[in-house]
């Protein structure tokens, strides 16, 4: 299993150590997360965030467990909480080591008492289990007290004392808390000792330093309802578990324990989750014989798994865009699908994800975002999500050759998308007389706004939208022929020809030597942005070969950083080199200079394509474009994963989500397909337009 470790040198510096964060997920959108000091620095940190409407509507139920050791009348705290002006207690000074292999593990020593604390989540359960290994090396008895800090709030919110109350009942070592007036339930249980109810104590004004820096609410109050008490006999070791299960209703919290049965089952769950992760890695290498086993590659495989979630209580799979706070966004999911599921051999998951988005398509648009509440309506405000859906279907076919599945389950949706784009659908999305796609503002991936005003409106005809549109028409041309409709295939071929001709007449910026970012009836936007790389990246590139080469060279020179591509060239007067401050400042910077890791995937594909996939250039591309991400960044911010974004200016500090789906997916895809040149098994036969007709 891959391994990450931090020793006393890092852990002794509160500021340095608190920048390193860990996250464990459960396949439902729920998670446990904190820093390597076990000090929460965000409202999104906690031991149990349960998804009330999987994989969304996530609520904090258990903030943390605070430990202290009593030797005689002396108290030795192992925990720490940060308040506005003080860190109290300073138990982090007793922390001797932190590791992840495969779960976050803390090593404490106070006097001659040694404590090991490991956090894991059972897969597909809104539950967290903390395993304790404690050795008392003293000649006298000691006592371990563990104080749960409980809460009930949506993860975007904070709590003030009195915002909720918690009724409780105890039965066979399990303590059930039912919250009111806020709705939710939590069960706590320990396999050793007892729970001491010494009255409710509110721990007030816990300070979240990272949220303060982001200009967000940063003070939280938690309820401490008592403590677990465990005796530590002299010169002896104990191993025990504290578990927590929760949900919107009491029955959801109880279901975990009713399914569990025996206390010993917690240990079985522990090894079951360890073995599940081992199998993910083993299966990857079995399908990719000859790929060298690397720690960083193993982390990518495990991180990829964390984004694949169930949608609905008995639903299909989807992809969470990023942790901590994103939902399953259509665009992010469909861009991420090849890297998360296809290069990892998870074809069944890929099928389910495609079916999820096809099921919710409306007027030719797949959802751009699903709502928090089960009764809510998906949002459809995206021009490119449906086009990425068509591309994801093509990638699925390249890996599986499964034309029958596509024809039976997805073909109607694919035709519905193209017909609505041709004739017009919501948000002003329609094909213009020149064959290119028109669309309204804030419908591309650069969709940030400040006070309701788009920062990068990109209304009209955005460059990557035309590239995706041409690619989509070529996909439809191929599949129409394979599915037995030669006339329909010819119609798509003719339309694709018109789109490519119009694109190359209107989008090349001759004096600049690159592609315009947006073209509309009144002006052409010559902002130098990375969107043009999509015109060189897709299986059917809309830009001419000579133009693609120039685009790659210009992007390399003006946008490349060690961690991805800048969203705007640094010589543009609108460039903002740091993603910091409050909402407005950050949203202005989001697509005006901020670095995006996912874009390195399309760039590498485009770069190596023009280099003919020569072995020298593949080695060069890994060292120059991927090594910093894989060998540095994986071990810096969100441990074992890759951040959403980075500052445009050096040292390119990680920002945004600590673990982002497409930041993992696209670099991983590019590494397998382009650097190692392990191509999809059915790529050649699928991309052959005139082969394999009437296979369904």
pLDDT digits (tens, 9 = 90+) for 336-385: 999 999 999 999 999 999 999 999 999 999 999 998 887 789 999 999 99
Gap between the Cα atoms of 684 and 574, Å rounded? 43
pLDDT in tens, 238-253: 999 999 999 999 999 9
Predicted confidence (pLDDT) per residue in 127-156, tens digit: 999 999 999 999 999 999 999 999 999 999
Q: Is the pLDDT of residue 38 over 60?
A: yes
d(CA 113, CA 128): 25
Residue 281 lies in a domain: no
Please indicate, yes or no, whether residues 502 and 552 belong to a single structural domain of this protein.
yes
Which CATH number is 146's domain given? 2.70.98
CB 689 within 8 A of CB 394: no
Q: Is the pLDDT of residue 126 over 80?
A: yes
Q: Are residues 444 and 335 in the same domain?
A: yes
Over the stretch 521-537, which tens digit does the pLDDT of each residue have? 789 999 999 999 999 99
Res. 422 pLDDT band, cuts 50 70 90:
very high
* 692 assigned to some structural domain: no
Residue 187 lies in a domain: yes
Least confident of 68-72, 75-79, 191-195, 469-473: 191-195
Q: Is residue 647 part of a domain?
A: yes
pLDDT digits (tens, 9 = 90+) for 193-208: 999 998 899 999 999 9
- 471: in domain: yes
Given 241, 276, 311, the domain boundary residue is 276
Task: Answer yes or no: do 217 and 153 share one domain.
Answer: yes
**Within a domain: residue 283?**
no
Instruction: Note whether 329 and 436 are same-domain residues.
Output: yes
Q: What is the pTM of this model?
A: 0.95
Report how many helices (DSSP H) and strands (DSSP E) the chain contains, helices first.
Answer: 21, 39
Which backbone phi and psi does 187 adopt, to 5 degrees?
Answer: -120, 130
Both structure tokens of 134: 């404690």
CATH number, domain containing residue 342: 1.50.10.10
Among 245, 276, 307, give the residue marking a domain's end: 276
Would you state the structure tokens that stand for residue 16, as one six-digit string? 């340095």
Tally the domains of the chain. 2
Whether residues 184 and 318 fall in one domain: no
CA triple 123-126-129, angle to 5 deg: 70
> 604: domain range?
288-687
Q: Does residue 580 sit within a domain?
A: yes
User: Could you tell me if 674 and 586 lie in one domain?
Assistant: yes
Q: What is the mean pLDDT of the segment spanning 168-184? A: 90
Per-position DSSP letters for 422-435, written without gaps between them: HH--GGG-EE-TTS
Whether residue 483 is contained in a domain is answered as yes
Same domain, yes or no: 210 and 317: no
Over residues 517-522, the mean pLDDT reads 90
My answer on whether 195 and 329 are in the same domain is: no
Of 524, 542, 523, 520, the C-alpha closest to 532 is 542
- Rounded-to-integer distance, Cα 603 and Cα 625, Å: 9
Same domain for 242 and 294, yes or no, is: no
Domain-terminating residue out of 228, 254, 276: 276
Instruction: Take residue 137 and report the two structure tokens written for it.
Output: 């090396």
Domain shared by 256 and 375, yes or no:
no
Exposed e or buried b for every residue in 571-585, given b needs 16+ CB within 10 A? ebeebbbebeeeeeb
* Angle between helical axes of 385-400 and 463-482 (0-180°, round to 10): 40
User: How far is the CA of 486 from the CAs of 423, 489, 539, in angstroms?
Assistant: 22, 5, 21
| Same domain flag for 418 and 540 | yes
In terms of domains, do 313 and 357 share one? yes
């Amino acid at each position: 299993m891959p391994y990450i470790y931090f020793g006393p040198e890092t852990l002794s510096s509160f500021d340095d150590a608190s920048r390193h964060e860990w996250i464990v997920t459960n396949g439902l959108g729920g998670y446990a997360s904190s820093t390597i000091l076990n000090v929460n620095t965000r409202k999104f940190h906690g031991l149990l965030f349960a998804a009330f409407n999987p994989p969304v509507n996530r609520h904090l139920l258990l903030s943390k467990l605070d430990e202290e050791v009593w030797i005689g009348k002396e108290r030795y705290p192992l925990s720490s909480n940060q308040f506005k002006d003080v860190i109290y207690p300073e138990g982090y000074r007793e922390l001797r080591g932190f590791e992840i292999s495969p779960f976050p593990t803390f090593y404490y020593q106070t006097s001659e008492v040694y404590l090991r604390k490991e956090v894991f989540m059972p897969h597909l359960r809104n539950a967290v289990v903390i395993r304790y290994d404690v050795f008392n090396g003293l000649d006298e008895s000691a006592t371990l007290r563990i104080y749960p800090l409980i809460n009930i709030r949506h993860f975007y919110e904070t709590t003030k004392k009195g915002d909720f109350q918690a009724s409780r009942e105890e039965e066979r070592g399990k303590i059930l808390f039912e919250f009111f007036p806020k709705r939710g339930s939590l069960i706590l249980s320990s396999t050793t000792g007892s729970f001491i109810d010494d009255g409710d104590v509110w721990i007030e004004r816990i300070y979240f330093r990272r949220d303060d820096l982001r200009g967000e609410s940063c003070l939280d109050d938690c309820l401490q309802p008592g403590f677990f008490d465990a005796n530590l006999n002299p010169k002896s070791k104990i191993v025990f578990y504290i578990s927590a299960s929760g949900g919107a209703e009491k029955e959801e919290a109880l279901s975990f324990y009713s399914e569990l049965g025996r206390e010993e089952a917690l240990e079985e769950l522990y090894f079951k989750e360890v073995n599940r992760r081992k199998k993910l890695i083993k299966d990857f290498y079995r399908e990719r014989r000859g790929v060298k086993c690397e720690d960083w590659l193993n982390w990518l495989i495990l991180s990829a798994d964390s984004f694949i979630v169930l949608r609905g209580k008995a639903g299909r799979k989807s992809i969470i865009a990023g942790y901590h706070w994103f939902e399953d966004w259509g665009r992010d999911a469909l861009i991420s699908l090849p890297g998360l599921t296809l290069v990892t051999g998870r074809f069944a998951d890929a099928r389910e994800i495609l079916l999820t988005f096809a099921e919710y398509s409306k007027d030719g648009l797949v959802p751009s975002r699903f709502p928090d509440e089960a009764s809510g309506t998906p949002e459809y405000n995206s021009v490119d999500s449906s086009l990425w859906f068509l591309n994801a279907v093509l990638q699925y076919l390249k890996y599986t050759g499964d034309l029958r599945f596509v024809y039976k389950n997805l073909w109607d949706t694919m035709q519905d998308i193209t017909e609505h784009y041709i004739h017009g659908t919501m948000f002003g999305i329609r094909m213009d007389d020149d064959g290119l796609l028109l669309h309204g503002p804030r419908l591309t991936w650069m969709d940030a706004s400040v006070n309701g005003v788009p920062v990068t409106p990109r209304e009209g005809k955005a460059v990557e939208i035309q590239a995706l549109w041409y690619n989509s028409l070529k996909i439809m041309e191929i599949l129409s022929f394979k599915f037995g409709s030669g006339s329909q295939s010819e119609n798509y071929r003719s339309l694709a020809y018109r789109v490519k001709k119009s694109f190359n007449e209107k989008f090349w910026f001759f004096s600049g030597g690159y592609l315009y970012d947006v073209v509309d009836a009144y002006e052409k936007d010559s902002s130098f942005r990375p969107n043009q790389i999509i015109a060189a990246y897709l299986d059917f590139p809309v830009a001419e070969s000579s133009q693609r080469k120039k685009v790659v060279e210009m992007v390399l020179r003006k946008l490349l950083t060690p961690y991805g591509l800048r969203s705007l060239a640094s010589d543009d007067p609108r460039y903002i080199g740091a993603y910091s401050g409050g909402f407005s400042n950050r949203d202005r910077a989001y697509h005006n200079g901020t670095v995006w890791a996912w874009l390195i995937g399309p760039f590498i594909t485009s770069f190596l394509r023009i280099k003919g996939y020569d072995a020298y250039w593949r080695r060069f591309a890994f060292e120059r474009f991927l090594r910093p991400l894989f060998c540095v960044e994986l071990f810096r911010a969100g441990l074992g994963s890759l951040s959403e974004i980075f500052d445009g200016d050096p040292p390119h500090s990680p920002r945004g989500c600590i673990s982002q789906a497409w930041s993992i997916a696209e670099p991983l895809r590019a590494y397998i397909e382009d650097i190692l040149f392990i191509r999809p098994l059915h790529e050649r036969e699928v991309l052959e337009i005139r082969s394999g007709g009437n296979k369904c």
